[in-house]
Amino acid sequence: MAKEKLLLLDGNSLAYRAFFALPPLTNDSGIHTNASYGFTMMLQKIVEEEQPTQMLVAFDAGKTTFRHESFGEYKGGRQKTPPELSEQFPYIRKLIDAYNIKRYELDLYEADDIIGTLAKQAEAGGSEVIIVSGDKDLTQLSSDNVTVYITRKGITDIEKYTPAHIEEKYGLTPAQIIDMKGLMGDASDNIPGVPGVGEKTAIKLLKEYGSVEALYEAIDGMKASKMKEKLVENEDSAHLSKKLATIFTEAPIEITLDDLAYAGPNEDALLAVWQELGFKSLIEKSDMQSTAQEQEDIQLNIVADVTTAMLKDTMALHVELENEHYHSCDMLGIAVTNGEDATYIPVEIALKSDAFKAWLEDASKKKYIVDSKATQAILARYDIQLAGVAFDLLLASYIVNPAISGDDVAALAKEFGYTNVQANEVVYGKGAKWTVPETGVLADHISRKAIALWHLQSVVEKKLKDNEQYDLYHDLELPLAEILGKMEIEGISVDVEILKQMGEALQEKLTVIEQSIYELAGEEFNINSPKQLGVILFDKLGLPVLKKTKTGYSTAADVLEKLQSEHDIVKHILDYRQLAKLQSTYIEGLTKEVHAKDGKVHTRFQQALTATGRLSSTDPNLQNIPIRLEEGRKIRQAFVPSKEGWVLFAADYSQIELRVLAHMCQDPVLVEAFKEGMDIHTRTAMDVFGVTNPDEVTANMRRTAKAVNFGIIYGISDYGLSQNLDIPRKKAAEFIESYLQSFPGVKGYMENIVADARRDGFVTTILNRRRYLPDINSSNFNLRSFAERTAMNAPIQGSAADIIKKAMIDMDIRLQKEGLQAKLLLQVHDELIFEAPAEEIEILERIVPEVMESAIELAVPLKVDYSHGHSWYDAK
DNA sequence: GTCTTCACG
DNA sequence: ACGTACGTGAAGACC
C-alpha cells in the first residue's frame, strides 16, 4: 500500500489569515467573502500540490480551554472577532463539507491540540504529515515525518518548517520552540513569558542551556545582570508560559485516522457554494477542468450515405448547431444512435438523403433529442418536418429543476451523473477563439452527445416520474415545444417603412431635446452616460442626491421624477431617456431583426430558462414591446398581418395571477369577488380602507389597493410597497396589515407556503412545477427573506404560466379541429396574439376565450378580454 | 464582462 | 437591526 499522506489544517488560524490578507470583498447579497475566498484559494493550491490521501480541518471549540484552568487570562485582551469574519465561518464550514474534508472541534481543546494529537498518531503509523497554519506555535510539531507549513504574507505563500529549516532559521530543535515561547511569551495569546526577553535573547539562552528547565537549574551560576534578575523574578511565569505554549498531543479525540480519507470534492456541492458566494473565476476554471476529464472510448461510424438499415424505430438524434440562433445559423453535423455505437452523418450527406428525410418526418420513428424546438426549426429551413419527438433532454431537465443551467448536453448530463461527453467550450473554445475542430474530433463530440441522450432518456424520465412531474413534462412542455416552434418559424410581419418614419421623427425630437439639455447644462456631454449625467446634475447643478448606486449617483427615472421641480433640465432628460430608449431598442434594434427574405421577425421563445415556468423571448424580445405610454405604444403599429385581408387578434387573461391566488388560498372574500365579477382592485380598496360602498372608493384608494395586490403577488414587504407608492414604510405596513385582516385566507396561504418551502426545500405550481429554494433556511437575513418572497410568488406566477401553456396546446388542437387558417404568433405571459383572415374573427371571438377560460378549472372563473385590428396597436 | 437603466407581464 | 418588492431582455457606457 502506498504511504498515506495526512494534511491537517488549522481552520481558525487560516480563516483569520485569509480575512486580514485580503481586502473586504463582498458578493451580490452583501455577504463578506474575503476569508471564504482566501481559504478556498489556499485549499485549492495545497490539495493540488500535495495530493493528500487524508485530510482534516480542526477548529477551536469555544471560549474556554483546559489552558484557562492554569491561567485564567489565557488569550485575554483579544480583539473580538470582527462580525465581517464571523459571518463567514458558516460558509467556510460549508466549503469544507463540499470538499468532502472532515472537520473537527473538541470542547476544551484548541485546534492545535487536535492537530498535534493526530499528527503524532499518524506519524506513529508511518504516514507523512503536513500541517498548515498561520500560527508559528505549530512548528514545535515538526519532525522527520511532519512538516509544518506556515503562511507568510498573503495566503498562498508558505514557509515549510522541517527540523532542518528550524535549525537553520533559529539554531533550535522543534521541541525548543516551546521553550522559546516560554521565555519570550506571546502577546496574541496573552502568554506573559519573561518581560524583556525577546526572540533573540530566548534563542541565545536556549543555545546555551538547552531548555527552560535546564536554564533555571543552572541559573545560580549565571553571572549577575539585568537579564538574570528578570529571569529569576519571572521563573514561575516562564514555566507557566512554556506549559501554555505546549501543544497537547494526547487530546481525547473521538475520530481516528480512518475517518479522514480524502478522495476529492463533491463537485456539485462545491459549485453550489461557490455560486452562493459568487466565486465566478473559480467556477469558470472548474468547468474547464472537470469537463476536460478523460473520456471513455466510443465507437462511431462516419457514413457517406444514409441507408434505411441505419435508422431504427427508436434512436437518439443530435443535430449540432453552429450557435443558438437556429433561425439563421448552420448545422455542423448530425449523429444518431440506439446504443454504444453512433452513426455520424455529415450535414451535406444528410441533406441529400431521402431516406433520412423520410425517417425524420415519420412520427412512428421515435427520437430522443436535446432541444427539439431548435431541431424542428433548423430542419424546417431545409423543408424537413420533424416528427416523432419522444424525449427532450432540455425540457425534461428543466422540469426536474428549472435552475439547471444551460443547454449544453455535457452540463445537463452531468446533473444526472453522466460524464462521457465533453463541454462545448472544451471542443470549440469560446469567444474570439471559437473554432470548429477537424471532422474526427467534431464527429466524436456530436456522437457522444447522441449517446448521452440515449442513456439519459430513462434516467431523467424516471426522475420525473418519481417527482410526479412526468405529465407536466410529457403532456405540457413537450407538445408546447412544437407549437412554439411553429410560432417562431411562422414569425410576425413588421412594416419596416413605418419604423423608418417613426425613427426619423424621433431623431428630430431627440436633437431638439439634446440641444436644450446642453444649453441648460452649459456644456455638451453624453446624456446616455449615467456617470457623466450624475456629474452635471449633482456636482455642477447642485441638485440634491436622493439615491446612490454602488458606483455613484443614481439617475434612475424614479429619482429624476422627484427632482423635476428643482431644475428644468430634469424634465428634458426624462423625455430624452424615453425617446432614446424607443430609438435604440425598438426602432433600430427591431429593424435589425427583420429577415430580408420575408419581412418578418422570428423570435426565439426560451422554454427552459425562467425560474418560474414562464417563457422568455429573444432576438428580438417580443414580450416587452411598449404599451404603457402612447409614444411607445405606436411601435405596435409596425406589427401587421402577413397577408392582405388578414387581421391581428389578441386575447389576454384578466387578473390571472390574483385569480390563481384566490384559487390557491380559497379566501372566501377573494373567491366571492371573482365569482361576482367585481373589479378586484376596487373590492380590495373597500376592504383595506373599510368602505362599504364601491362608489366611495376614490381613484387614489383604488390605485393604492392595486399596488397592495401587486405586493401580495410579489411576496409582500412594507418596504417594497412604500417604495412603489412613495409613502412612509409605516403607512405601507398599515395597508398590508389591513389587507391581511380582510383576507385571512391569503394570510394563511402565505404562512403555509413558506412553511412548506422550509420543510420540502421547494414550492410547486398547480401542475406540479417545482422551484427549489436553497436559501429558505439561511441564517442570512437577506437571502432568507428573498427566498420567502420567492416562495410566495413562484407558485402564483408559475401556475399562471401553467395555465396559459395549457391554453396554447388546447388552442392548437381547436384551430386544427375547426379547420381554421388562424395562426398563433406570440405569447406575452398572459396574452396570446393570432393572425387570421378577417372572416375568421367572428369564430375566434367565440372559441379563443372559451378555450383559454377552460384551460384549467380553478375555484374562480378565468376571464379573457380580446380585440382585433389591422396592427398590433389596433388590437387593443 | 459588469453595471445601470428601462421596456414588458 | 438587517434592507427588498416577482419574473424577464436589450442597449449603452465603461472597465
Tens digits of residue pLDDT in A328-367 = 999 999 999 999 899 999 999 999 999 999 999 999 999 9
**pLDDT number for residue A659:** 96
Rounded distance between C-alpha atoms, residue A834 and residue A828, angstroms: 12
Distance C14 C1' – A553 CA (angstroms): 15
Q: A187 vs A21, A182, A184, A817, A826, CA distance in Å?
A: 20, 12, 9, 87, 72
Contact A34, A18 (CB under 8 A): yes
Checking if the pLDDT of A288 tops 60, the result is no
User: Any idea of the CA torsion for A138, A140, A144, A150, to the nearest 10 degrees?
Assistant: 30
What element of type H or E holds A321? strand A314-321
In the chain, the amino acid numbered A463 is: K
Q: Which nucleotide is closest to A430, CA to C1'? A: B1
Q: Which nucleotide is closest to A30, CA to C1'? A: C3
Distance C5 C1' – A725 CA (angstroms): 11
Rounded distance between C-alpha atoms, residue A146 and residue A5, angstroms: 10
Confidence of residue A857 (pLDDT cuts 50, 70, 90): very high
Nucleotides of B under 7 A from a protein CB: 1-9
Burial status of residue A95 (CB atoms within 10 A of its CB: 0-12, 13-18, 19 or more): buried
DSSP letters, A364-410, are TSEEEES-HHHHHHHHHTTT-----EEEEHHHHHHHH-TT---S-HH
A391: which strand partners? A368
Query: Residue A318, CB half-sphere, CA atoms under 13 Å: how many?
Result: 30
**pLDDT number for residue A29:** 65
Q: What is the mean pLDDT of chain A?
A: 90
- Give the residue-averaged pLDDT of A370-378: 97
- Give the residue-averaged pLDDT of A529-556: 89
Checking if the pLDDT of A1 tops 60, the result is no
Contact A428, A435 (CB under 8 A): yes
Distance C1 C1' – A53 CA (angstroms): 45
**pLDDT number for residue A153:** 67
Distance C5 C1' – A11 CA (angstroms): 39
Confidence of residue A835 (pLDDT cuts 50, 70, 90): very high
Distance B6 C1' – A628 CA (angstroms): 12
Rounded distance between C-alpha atoms, residue A799 and residue A263, angstroms: 43
Name every residue whose Cβ is closer than 8 Å to that of residue A352 and which is 6 or more positions away in sequence.
none
Confidence of residue A715 (pLDDT cuts 50, 70, 90): confident
**pLDDT number for residue A199:** 83
Checking if the pLDDT of A292 tops 60, the result is no
Per-residue flag: A557 CB under 7 A of strand B: yes
Per-residue flag: A275 CB under 7 A of strand B: no
Checking if the pLDDT of A488 tops 60, the result is yes
Nucleotides of C under 7 A from a protein CB: 1-14
Closest CA to A314 of A363, A358, A375: A363
Checking if the pLDDT of A645 tops 90, the result is yes
Tens digits of residue pLDDT in A265-286 = 887 778 778 877 877 767 666 6
Which of A2-16, A437-451, A517-531 is least confident?
A2-16
pTM over 0.85: no
**pLDDT number for residue A444:** 96
- Give the residue-averaged pLDDT of A99-122: 90
Rounded distance between C-alpha atoms, residue A276 and residue A28, angstroms: 9
- Give the residue-averaged pLDDT of A707-729: 89
DSSP, collapsed to helix, strand or coil, labels residue A645 as coil
Name every residue whose Cβ is closer than 8 Å to that of residue A23 and which is 6 or more positions away in sequence.
A34
Omega cis (within 30) before A620: yes
Q: Which has more pLDDT, A440 or A170? A: A440
Checking if the pLDDT of A841 tops 80, the result is yes
**pLDDT number for residue A295:** 75
Sign of CA dihedral A39, A42, A48, A50: negative
Burial A351-377 (b: 16+ CB within 10 A, else e): bebeebbebbeeeebbbbbbbbbbbbb
Residue A3 dihedral angles phi and psi, to the nearest 5°? -65, 135
Contact A449, A370 (CB under 8 A): yes
Question: At what angle are helices A176-184 and A199-209 packed, to 10 degrees?
Answer: 130
Q: Strand B contacts (CB < 7 A) among A residues 821-860?
A: 828-831
**pLDDT number for residue A3:** 76
**From the C1' of B6, which residue's alpha carbon is nearest?**
A581
What element of type H or E holds A725? helix A718-725
**pLDDT number for residue A467:** 96
- Give the residue-averaged pLDDT of A257-270: 83
**pLDDT number for residue A326:** 95
DSSP, collapsed to helix, strand or coil, labels residue A167 as helix
- Give the residue-averaged pLDDT of A185-209: 84
**pLDDT number for residue A771:** 94
Q: Which nucleotide is closest to A713, CA to C1'? A: C6
Checking if the pLDDT of A293 tops 60, the result is no
DSSP, collapsed to helix, strand or coil, labels residue A494 as strand
Per-residue flag: A577 CB under 7 A of strand B: yes
Q: A403 vs A424, A462, A776, CA distance in Å?
A: 20, 19, 15
Q: Which nucleotide is closest to A621, CA to C1'? A: C9
> Where on the phi/psi map is residue A312: left (φ > 0), alpha (ψ -120 to 50), or beta?
beta
Checking if the pLDDT of A459 tops 70, the result is yes
**From the C1' of C2, which residue's alpha carbon is nearest?**
A781
Q: Which nucleotide is closest to A531, CA to C1'? A: C13
